[in-house]
Amino acid sequence: MLIVAAAPASAELLRLYGDENVGTSAGQFLKVPVGARAVGLGNAYVACAIDGPGVFWNPAGLLRTPGLSNWYAGHTEWAAGIDLDHAAFSWRTQSFGYAISAGMLRSGEIPRTTEYHVEGTGETFRADQYTLAFSLARAMTDRFSIGLTARYYQENLDEWEIRSLLFDLGILYFVGLGDMRVGFSVKSFGPDLRPGGSPPLRDGYAPQSEFQAFSPPTEGSFGVAYTWHLAEDVNLLTTTDFNHPGDARESFRMGGELELMNRFFVRGGYETGRDEGGLSAGCGLQLKRHQLLWRVDYAFRDMGGFGGMHFVSIELSPLWSKESARHGRAAR
Asked if residue 78 belongs to a domain, the reply is yes
205 lies in some domain? no
Which tens digits make up the pLDDT trace of 200-256?
777 777 777 788 888 999 999 999 999 999 999 999 999 999 999 988 889 999 999
Asked whether the beta carbons of 78 and 311 are under 8 A apart, the reply is: no
323, pLDDT greater than 50: no
* 243 assigned to some structural domain: yes
Q: Return d(Cα 54, Cα 319) in angstroms, integer.
A: 18
Q: State the sign of the Cα–Cα–Cα–Cα dihedral 72, 77, 81, 82.
A: negative
**Which of 6-15, 69-78, 122-131, 291-300 has the weakest average pLDDT?**
6-15
* DSSP symbol at 332: -
Q: With bands split at pLDDT 50, 70 and 90, how would you rate the model's confidence at 19?
A: low
pLDDT exceeding 70 applies to what percent of the chain? 90
The range of the structural domain enclosing residue 113 comes to 2-197+210-331
pTM of the model: 0.85
What does each C-alpha distance from 77 to 19, 31, 44, 227 come to in angstroms?
Answer: 28, 15, 20, 30
Q: Report the domain count for the chain.
A: 1
Of 9, 13, 11, 21, the C-alpha closest to 245 is 21
CA angle 212, 192, 97 (to 5 degrees): 155
- Cβ-in-10-Å burial (0-12, 13-18, 19+) of 225 comes to buried
CA distance 70 to 136: 15
The amino acid that residue 189 corresponds to is F
Backbone torsions φ then ψ of 188, nearest 5 degrees: 60, 50
* pLDDT (tens digit per residue) in 57-102: 999 999 999 889 999 999 999 887 888 999 999 999 989 999 999 9
Structural domain includes residue 204: no
The domain that contains 40 carries what CATH number?
2.40.160.40
User: Residues 265-306: pLDDT tens digits?
Assistant: 999 999 998 877 789 999 999 999 888 999 999 999 998 888
Which amino acid is present at 74? G
**Contact between 38 and 53 (Cβ < 8 Å):** yes
Residue at 203 is within a domain = no
Query: Strand, coil or helix: what is 34?
Result: coil
Residue ranges of alpha helices (H) inside the chain are: 2-18, 36-40, 321-327
